[in-house]
Amino acid sequence: MNRHKTSRREFLRLAAAGAGSALVAGRGMAQTPTSPGRPLTVVQTAWPQSLDPTMDTNVNAGNIYAHVFESPAQYRYDVRDKVMKLEPRLCDKWESRAPDRWRFHLRPGLKFTNGEEINSEVAKFSMETLKGNKGMASSYMNHVKEVVAVDPLTFDIVTDGPYAATPASTAFFFFFPPKYYAESGGKTGFGRKPIGSGPYRFVDWQEGVHIKLEANPAYWGAKPQIQAITFRAQPESATRVALLDTGEADLITALPPELVDRVKRTADIRTARGFRRVFCFFNANVAPTDNPLVRKAINHAVDVDAIVKNILGGHAYVVKGINKPGYIGYAPDKITGYKYDPELAKKLLVQAGYPNGIDLDYNHPVGRWLNDKDVAAAIIDMAGKAGIRFKDRGVEFNTASSLYTTQKATGMNMWSVGPLWLDPSYEWQVHFWSKGLYHYTNNAKMDELLDRLRTEVDPGKRVPIAQEFEKYVVDEYCAWLFMYDEEHIYGANKKLQWTPSPFERMELQYATMAG
Same domain for 384 and 303, yes or no, is: yes
What pLDDT, on the 0 to 100 scale, is given for residue 495? 96
Helix 292-301 and helix 372-384, axial crossing angle in degrees, nearest 10: 110
> Do 175 and 205 have their domain in common?
no
Beta bridge partners of 318: 484
Show Cβ contacts of residue 179 under 8 Å, excluding neighbours closer than 6 positions: 116
Domain range for residue 115?
73-179
Q: Is the residue at 184 inside a domain?
A: no
Same domain, 361 and 443: yes
Do residues 480 and 281 make contact, with C-beta atoms less than 8 angstroms apart?
yes
Alpha carbons 472 and 201: distance in angstroms, whole number: 45
Total domain count, the chain: 3
**Which residue type occupies 388?**
I
Contact 70, 112 (CB under 8 A): no
Residues of the chain with pLDDT under 50: 1-36
DSSP 213-264: EEE-TT-SSPPPSS-EEEEEE-S-HHHHHHHHHTTS-SEESS--GGGHHHHH
Q: Where are the beta strands (DSSP E) in 374-511?
A: 388-395, 412-417, 480-492, 496-497
Looking at the structure, tell me whether residues 163 and 30 fall in a common domain: no
| pLDDT at residue 39, rounded to an integer | 85
Domain CATH for 137: 3.90.76.10
pLDDT of residue 502: 87
Which three-class secondary structure state does DSSP give residue 65? helix
Which pLDDT belongs to residue 191?
97
Residue 188 inside a domain? The answer is no
Same domain? For 359 and 474 the reply is: yes
What is the predicted pLDDT for the residue at 459? 87
Same domain for 158 and 220? no
> Do residue 450 and residue 323 come from a single domain?
yes
* Residue 191 within a domain: no
* Predicted local distance difference test score (pLDDT) of residue 388: 98
Residue 393 lies in a domain: yes
> Which CATH number covers residue 227?
3.40.190.10
